[in-house]
């Protein structure tokens, strides 16, 4: 597992090497990996970013929290990760804003070690998350609430990305965690973990994956943000039309059994890929603010508007222009 994690971290800088001498250098990062990210990988692999005048370097980061820190420090210009990061960042004076969605619910399943079979068995147990403030952190908190487990009866431990959390469950240093597909199915089928809660089926709203920029960057580079979002949308329709390509690209970032890749593709792209064309759901943002207010007094009384979490204008312009309709043909 350690070798796999190291491979994931080291792979990406060489994959996204410069391709165009006159292209604009752009850095984009993501927190974690799902098949949904294949729209970004395809946009590069198929020359879409280059077509829009971008020389893209992609940073694959193990947690969204690290991604937010990287964006706020101007090390990257775009971040594709959970919108919850914008809430916590802006409460601290940041200027992150979401310009499109990607998922509007928790795309996680809570799984637990084989001896844990019910929600009652989870009381007093250790829950592995990637990092505090990440999507996995909010997912565990929401799951505990849904399962009527007092948060004081749970211990959250930061362990990083999927490989580390899987290793913790199989080794016994953690009792439960949340995973997206295809890793959730891999944990259940290969490692005999038990499914405790399917968060998507439970209908819990959440800004799972969104495209974020700094508001200051957006105001100074509106045309670039528009072009980048167009390139991502083109990447989306490339992988929706070419399942084999999407799976081929996903294999570079997620290690799983061959049959698991189709599970991840069908879930993220077959069923929900076009969520990128919507803004995050307000209920999900309000949930994040409410959860954050339990430990951060600054969040009390805040709203998505007061925190300036979204700017839907670019996505609306793209959709009204007929750009998306042409890609669908």
Specify the CATH number of the domain 109-198.
3.40.190.10
Report the percent of the chain where pLDDT is more than 70. 93
Please tell me the predicted confidence (pLDDT) of residue 22. Answer: 65
Q: Is the peptide bond prior to 182 cis by the omega test (within 30 degrees of 0)?
A: yes
pLDDT surpassing 60 at residue 147: yes
Question: Is the alpha carbon torsion for 76, 78, 80, 83 positive or negative?
Answer: positive
Within 8 A by CB and 6+ apart from 141, the residues are 151, 291
Burial (Cβ within 10 Å: 0-12, 13-18, ≥19) of residue 168: buried
Kindly report, residue by residue over 56-105, the tens digit of the pLDDT: 999 988 778 888 999 999 999 999 998 999 999 999 999 999 999 978 88
- Residue spans of the domains in the chain: they are 2-106+206-328, 109-198
Helix (H) or strand (E) holding 247: helix 243-250
- Mean pLDDT for the stretch of residues 151-164: 92
Per the CATH hierarchy, to which homologous superfamily does domain 2-106+206-328 belong? Periplasmic binding protein-like II (3.40.190.10)
Asked whether the domain spanning 109-198 has the same topology as the one spanning 2-106+206-328, the reply is yes
Kindly report, residue by residue over 190-247, the tens digit of the pLDDT: 999 999 999 988 888 899 899 999 999 999 999 999 999 999 999 999 999 999 999 9
pLDDT surpassing 70 at residue 14: no
- Mean pLDDT for the stretch of residues 19-41: 81
Please, are residues 223 and 31 in contact by the beta-carbon 8 Å criterion?
no
Please tell me the pTM assigned to this model: 0.81
């Amino acid at each position: 597992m350690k070798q796999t994690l190291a491979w994931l971290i080291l792979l990406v800088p060489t994959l996204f090497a410069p391709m165009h001498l006159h292209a604009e250098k752009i850095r984009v990062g993501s927190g974690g990996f799902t098949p949904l990210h294949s729209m970004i990988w395809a946009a590069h692999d198929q020359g879409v970013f280059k077509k829009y005048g971008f020389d893209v370097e992609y940073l694959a980061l193990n947690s969204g929290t690290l991604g937010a820190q990287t964006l706020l420090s101007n090390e990257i210009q775009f971040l594709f990760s959970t919108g919850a990061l914008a809430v916590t960042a802006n409460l601290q004076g940041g200027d992150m804003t979401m310009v499109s969605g990607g998922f509007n619910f928790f795309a996680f399943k809570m799984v637990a070690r084989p001896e844990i079979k019910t929600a009652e068995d989870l009381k007093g147990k250790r829950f592995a998350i990637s990092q505090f403030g990440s999507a996995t952190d909010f997912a565990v908190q929401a799951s505990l609430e849904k399962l009527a487990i007092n948060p004081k009866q749970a211990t959250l431990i930061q362990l990083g990305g999927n490989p580390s959390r899987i290793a913790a469950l199989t080794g016994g240093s953690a009792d439960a965690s949340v995973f997206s597909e295809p890793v959730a199915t891999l944990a259940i089928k290969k490692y005999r973990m038990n499914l405790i809660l399917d968060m998507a089926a439970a209908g819990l709203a959440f800004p799972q994956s969104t495209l974020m920029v700094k508001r200051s960057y957006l105001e100074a580079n509106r045309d670039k943000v528009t072009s980048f979002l167009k390139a991502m949308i083109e990447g989306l329709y490339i992988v929706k039309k070419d399942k084999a390509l999407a799976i081929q690209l996903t294999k570079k970032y997620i290690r799983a059994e061959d049959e698991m890749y189709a599970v991840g593709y069908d879930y993220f792209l077959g069923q929900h890929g076009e969520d990128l064309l919507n803004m995050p759901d307000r209920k999900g943002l309000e949930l994040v603010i409410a959860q954050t207010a339990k430990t951060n007094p600054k969040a009390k009384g805040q709203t998505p508007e007061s925190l300036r979490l979204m700017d839907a204008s670019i996505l609306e312009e793209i959709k009204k222009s007929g750009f998306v309709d042409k890609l669908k043909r």
